[in-house]
Structure 1
Amino acid sequence: MSHDHHHEAPAGTPADDIVTCPVMPGSTVSKSTAEAQGLYRDYDGQRYWFCCSACGPLFDADPAKYATAA
Structure 2
Amino acid sequence: MTNENTALNAPLSGGCCGSKASAPAQPATADDQAVCPVMAGTPVVKSVAEAQGLFRDYNGTRYWFCCASCGPLFDADPAKYATAAA
Q: Same fold (TM over 0.5)?
A: yes
Structure 2 letter corresponding to 1:63: P
* TM norm structure 1: 0.84
More helix by share: 1
> How far did residue 66 of structure 1 move?
0.1
- Gap runs ≥5 in structure 2: 1-17
2:65 pairs, out of 46, 50, 56, with 50
Aligned residues between the structures: 66
Percent pairwise identity: 65
Which ranges of 4 or more aligned residues in structure 1 deviate by more than 3 Å? 5-11
For 2:54, the equivalent position in structure 1 comes to: 39
* TM norm structure 2: 0.69
Distance in 2, matches of 1:6 and 1:45, equals: 28
Distance in 2, matches of 1:63 and 1:39, equals: 14
- Gap runs ≥5 in structure 1: none
